[in-house]
Amino acid sequence: MNWEEYIQMWDNASIQLVDIRQLVISSRGKQQYSLPASGFIYVVQGQGTIWLDGEIHKFERFYLLHAGKGSSISIEVGQDEVTYYYILYRGSMSAKASKEIQKKYHMNNPFQLPYACRPLAPVILYRHVDSMYEEWNRREILERFHVKIWFYQFVYTLVQQLKLQGVASKETDMVEEIIQYIHEHFNESISLESLAELWNYSIQYLSRQFKRHTGRSPIEYVIQTRMAKAKELMIRTDATAQEIASSVGYSDVFYFTRLFKKQVGMTPGQYKKQVKESSGGSDSPWEGFVSSMGKNASSCYIIDDNHYQLKTKGDRQMLKGTRSKIALTLMLCFTLILAACTNGNSSRNNNQGSPGGTSEQSAESTQNTSSNQTKEDTSMRKLSTVKGEVSVPAHPKRVVVDWDLGPVLAVGVTPVGASSTQMNFAEFLKPYLPETIQDIGLDGSISMEKVLDLSPDLIITWNKDAYDNYSKIAPTVVFDTSQYSTIQDEITAMGDILGRQEEAKKWIEDFEIRTEAARNKIKNIIPKDATISIVDYVTVDKFLMVIGNSGERGGRAAYDILGLNPTPKVKSEIIDKKADRVEVSWETVNDYVGDYVIVLKVDGKEPPKLPVTWTSLNAVKNHHVIEIEMEKYFAADSFSSLLQAEDIADKITKLAATTK
């Protein structure tokens, strides 16, 4: 779609407004009609499905469609009511337009052109539409004339955003090209950013169009493609898990195994065994994994090109009081949503005080009491971060976190979105995670589309490289744990970020009490001068991984919280050098393992055959071996580490009881 030509034809056209309305469809309701003129439909609240001439559109709030005269519209609503505007108009080309413009008009009439999108800055469009609606209903000549001015401003703003988003009239070819590219390059590094750069579209637009045509996001499609290829290799070859992981684009075999289990429901070893034992197993692991490129059609709408038919079920005219609440909600979100279409932090921050520079009140009615009015706190404050000074909400309500989930929960904030890597492999945090938290993707492949859909007012990330993309969506803070020397400092910092200083103080007080209790539990079990090591020989091949006091696998819990002693070699080669771990040969294992040893295990994965250098260790011969589960000890955040320390203390206590 050439937007320059599109707006050029508008500039040479004669426009007559026909009608502007605001409608609500109640829960489970429907509306069906044919447009008597060209028109815009702008959904500002709720979600459901729109059929436009048989083409299906799954919509959420802030979804906009344009259609020509005679287009058939059918809207179906889910559990929540839907509020939308429609603006009907007639457009014709001026006789004074040049022959070139006249030719373009007849070849591609802009007033009949169907398209749909979710605008980058939807609240700006909402302000135009709501102003048009208010003045249209006054029914006075001067106001009706002013509505036409607003309408042109609406079209201008919309085309600006569509041009910025790179919206095109034909998306299917693009999606097919991306699918072909994924199948050819699945074993290479693929990200939303790289795909958007290759096809010269915004991340949000590309991801939305891909999901619209396939039912899954690009990264989900990449993962499923890789898993399908991995299945093929497992069935048809004797390749090891490490070789298969590498061949489908994963250098970390443990990460590949976790991902495979999440997608397939079993580990690679279990899958291979099941296929071999099953006489009816399919030889084609690609079966059932096909591109859902076909469009769903519906015949639930009524076609009549000559008459405006409106058949409704559960619809009503929007009450002015309800409209005010919608306006309030949108205005409160304006600052953050507008950031999605700005170019950098400075422009975003300049917009945060607008529009009007005032906050509005929301009236909340309660039963058996008089109505009270409360103000939403939309104030901002400056925060010093590793990326400089950042403006953040004084009391954020919709927080997205891509890694450090534990500290956020510790200060009493439940995020609206979090990385599935943390949610799935921070087992100790699961009792604190309600089902309302949305998955924003795996670490390393976070979906910017999912983050954008959550409309966060604050994003907390560990990833400095992702900061620029995040900050286009909402105020973003890089939470760099290397800046804090203790868990107390870490929680204090998170309390400052989230405006939860008192909650942070209370958690720290509780942390210190529980730490002392856990240390006292093992005080008389492990001698004061005894040493302890943490090793992992399950997720690695042909060598031993020895863990320090940072990173995952329980090092922080054992050394920092419980105060257990590392061996001299662990201290000098790992902890003092601020490394996470070292990989050592089995021949040198005795240099690293102390009087006690904590061993990682992975559910469903058999440990390797252990050499004599291991079985001859004093810790092994004295049964001073403590097993911990990887899924519980993968996370290294402050909250998880406290829970891990308590678990280790319990395991040491039980070990002592069984070895007496």
| pLDDT reported for residue 340 | 41
Least confident range from 101-110, 383-392, 452-461, 583-592: namely 101-110
- Over 90: is that where the pLDDT of 483 sits? no
Kindly state the average pLDDT of the residues 71-94. Answer: 89
Number of neighbouring beta carbons within 10 Å of residue 322: 15
527 preceded by cis ω (within 30°)? Answer: no
Q: How sure is the predictor about 412, in pLDDT bands with cuts at 50, 70 and 90?
A: very high
- Over 70: is that where the pLDDT of 300 sits? no
Domains in the chain (CATH in brackets) are 3-165 (2.60.120.280), 172-277 (1.10.10.60), 380-505 (3.40.50.1980), 524-658 (3.40.50.1980)
Residue 366 C-beta-side C-alpha neighbours within 13 Å: 5
Asked whether the beta carbons of 600 and 536 are under 8 A apart, the reply is yes
| pLDDT reported for residue 567 | 92
Least confident range from 188-202, 468-482, 485-499, 503-517: namely 188-202
Report the predicted TM-score, pTM, of the whole model to 2 decimal places.
Answer: 0.46
Mention every residue, 6+ apart, whose C-beta is less than 8 A from residue 453: 60
Kindly state the average pLDDT of the residues 539-562. Answer: 85
Q: What is the DSSP string of 341-361?
A: GSSSHHHHHHHTTTTTT---E
| pLDDT reported for residue 506 | 96
Quick: pLDDT tens for 592-614.
999 999 999 888 778 888 899 99
Least confident range from 4-18, 75-89, 281-295: namely 281-295
Q: What is the DSSP string of 161-184?
A: HHHHHT--S--HHHHHHHHHHHHH
Q: What is the DSSP string of 99-128?
A: HHHHHHHHHS-TTS--EEE--SSHHHHHHH
Distance CA 234, CA 348 (A): 50
How large a percentage of the chain has pLDDT more than 70? 83
Kindly state the average pLDDT of the residues 132-155. Answer: 86
Average pLDDT over the chain, rounded to an integer: 79
Kindly state the average pLDDT of the residues 475-487. Answer: 90
Distance CA 445, CA 443 (A): 6
